[in-house]
Chain A
Amino acid sequence: MKNIHLQYFAILREFRGQNEDSWETTAATAGDLYEELKTEFKFPLTQKQIRVAINGEFSAMDSLLKTGDEVVYIPPVAGG
C-alpha cells in the first residue's frame, strides 16, 4: 500500500465532492490510480481526455507512484 495526496479541480472536484484526499492505493501508475478513482467516484472523463501532474509537474500517465506523491488529474483546460 502507498499513500497518495490527491487534489481535485473543476469537474473532477465536483464529482469527488471535495478538494483533496489522502488515498491508500496499490495502483502502480498514475493511470492505474485514475482508473481506480474513476470507478469509485464515477468521473466522467477517460484517461485519454486528461493529463496528470505529479509533485507539481506534468507527468506521463505511466509514471510509477510512490508514497507521499502529490497527484493532480487535469481535465481539459479552458483558460482565457
Chain B
Amino acid sequence: MKANLFQLTSQSFQAHHFVREMENHAAGAYTSFEGWVRNHNEGKDVASLEYEAYPDLALKEGCRILAEALEKFDIIDSRCIHRTGHLQIGEIAVWVGTTAKHREEAFTACRYIIDEVKSRVPIWKKEHYADGDSGWVKCEHCASHIHRH
C-alpha cells in the first residue's frame, strides 16, 4: 500500500523519526529536503520566523500534492511535514521525504513536492528582522499600501 502523509506541526522536530516510518526493503533510494530558517533574506538580518497555516485547506492541498507525486513518479512513498508557529534560526521549517526503487525518481519527486508545497499550500511566513521590523513574505511587495502597527 502506498502511504500518503502531509502534516502540520507546531512542535520542533527531527526528520529521523519520520524516516523510520518509511523504511521499506523494496526501496533502493531515500531522498529528503529540509528547509531551514535562515538568518537573512533580501539583504535584511532575520531574527526569527512565524508560519501561519489555514489548516483545513493546507492539509487537503498538501495531501493532494503527495498523491500527485505518487501518480506522476515511480516512487514508493512520500511524506511532508511543515511547521507552524514561531521558529528560531536553524530550525527545520519543512521536511520532505521520498523513497523509490531508484534515486532519480526519488530526487525528482522530492523536488516536485517541495516546489508545489511552496506555491500552493495555504501557509504564510512572517519574517521578524533584527532591526525590530517585520513583514509577510510575498505580501509586503505586492501590497498597495501597508500600515505599520
Contacts and interface: CB of A to CB of B under 8 A. Distances in A.
Interface of A: 7, 9-11, 13-15, 42, 44-46, 49, 53, 56-58, 72, 74-80
A34 to B, nearest CB: 14
Contact of A75 (B82, B94, B124): B124
B94 A80 contact: yes
Nearest to A15: B147
Instruction: Say whether chain B's binding surface is mostly helix, strand, loop, or mixed.
Output: mixed
Contacts of B139: 10-11, 44-45, 75-76, 78
A15 B146 CA distance: 9
Contact of B120 (A10, A45, A75, A77): A77
**Which one of B60, B136, B145 has the greatest number of beta carbons of chain A within 10 Å?**
B136
A79 B125 CA distance: 6
A72 B56 CA distance: 11
